[in-house]
Amino acid sequence: MKILLANPRGFCAGVDRAIEIVERALALHGKPVYVRNEVVHNKFVVNDLKSKGAIFVKEINEVPDQQVVIFSAHGVSQMVRTQAQHIHATIYDATCPLVTKVHKEVARKQKQNHQVVLIGHKGHPEVEGTLGQSSEGRQVVLVEDGKDVAQLNIGTDDNISYTTQTTLSVDDTQHIISELKDRFPNIKAPKKDDICYATQNRQDAVKALMQSADVLLVLGSRNSSNSNRLREIADKMNIPAYLIDGADEIKQDWIKNANIVGVTAGASAPEVLVQEVVNYLYDHGADELQEVDGAQENVHFPVPEELR
């Protein structure tokens, strides 16, 4: 059996920054620090930070007054920011700068009196945060698929702009954008593509991998949007693909007839989990490993100045 490792894979700059913010806040303030939602969508990372003193909460009202509050990499609504200020929290914002770019784009377009359409998955924390950038009386409209586009109650002569969740499938998003443009020929695109570089690079790497692999193992938690998109790429090519939190979830039936096993990791999954999967595969018949060439990433997002 041969192992093919996708490149790039695993942590992106936004995830690196978010984890570093939590760790630096713990070092500066001591434990506990409170994190609103999972700082990144990965069970291993979250459990590691819990062991160091981070407490993860769903709502700000779960946080006592005058505590340290960190916003997750997915971003938060303006309402959540106001709630944190009301409890006199020391606030650190771990929102990925690429998500912040989307938030600023929404605010800018609304000031220009545009109806903003957001392409994304309902209920995802990033989508909730972006929807929550709406100014009073200017609601952002969410679409998940072509059916939602067809049901939009917007006049074709209105000023309309669209933006997207940063962790979507590149191919699926282009399909929805095409439908929006067909229905609203004057719709305005973002100045720069909203799907983040890391999401696109990891999807491209999996497409290259699946030209050879018989099965794909994706390191990533079930609630990780970008990890699910990686698995779906293989599914659409009719190649078995499995989303796992670690090597202990692999079933031997998945790989027993495979000559080539592809391995990748979503943007919030650490490399240590990839290496555990590689070791598992070596223990179960693998005798060769190849790193597949892919895009080179050298992006770095600095932590807030007060934590440096």
pLDDT at 67: 98
pLDDT at 158: 79
Domain 98-195 class?
alpha beta
38 annotated active-site: no
Please write the tens of the pLDDT for every residue from 275-298. 999 999 999 999 999 999 999 999
Q: Are 7 and 192 in contact (CB under 8 A)?
A: no
Catalytic residue, chosen from 38, 126, 128, 232, is 126
Q: How confident is the model at residue 230 (pLDDT cuts 50, 70, 90)?
A: very high
May I ask the CATH architecture of the domain 13-96? 3-Layer(aba) Sandwich (3.40)
Measured CA to CA, the distance from residue 251 to residue 96 in angstroms comes to 34
pLDDT at 151: 95
Domain with CATH 3.40.1010.20 in the chain: 2-11+196-291, 98-195
Task: Read off the tokens for 262.
Answer: 């592809």
DSSP 187: P
Please write the tens of the pLDDT for every residue from 64-116. 999 999 999 999 999 999 999 999 999 999 999 999 999 999 999 999 999 99
pLDDT at 191: 83
Q: Residue 264: what are its φ and ψ, rounded to 5°?
A: -145, 175
CATH entry 3.40.1010.20 includes domain 2-11+196-291: yes
Measured CA to CA, the distance from residue 221 to residue 245 in angstroms comes to 5
pLDDT at 252: 96
Measured CA to CA, the distance from residue 164 to residue 186 in angstroms comes to 17
Task: Read off the tokens for 240.
Answer: 């078995």
pLDDT at 275: 98
Identity (one letter) of the amino acid at 277? V
- CA angle, 307 as apex, 24 and 94 as ends, to 5°? 75
pLDDT at 157: 75
pLDDT at 135 over 80: no
Strands 33-36 and 260-265: unpaired
Class of residue 59 by CB neighbours under 10 A (exposed 0-12, middle 13-18, buried 19+): exposed
Identity (one letter) of the amino acid at 153? N
Q: How far is CA 307 from the centre of its chain?
A: 24
| Cα separation values, 304 from 77, 97, 170, Å | 19, 11, 30
What's the whole-model pTM score?
A: 0.95
Domain with CATH 3.40.50.11270 in the chain: 13-96
Please write the tens of the pLDDT for every residue from 156-213. 777 999 999 999 999 999 999 999 999 999 999 998 889 999 999 999 999 999 999 9
Question: In terms of pLDDT, which residue wins out, 156 or 52?
Answer: 52
Q: How confident is the model at residue 229 (pLDDT cuts 50, 70, 90)?
A: very high
Number of H helices, E strands in the chain: 11, 12
pLDDT at 155 over 90: no
Please write the tens of the pLDDT for every residue from 14-47. 999 999 999 999 999 999 999 999 999 999 999 9
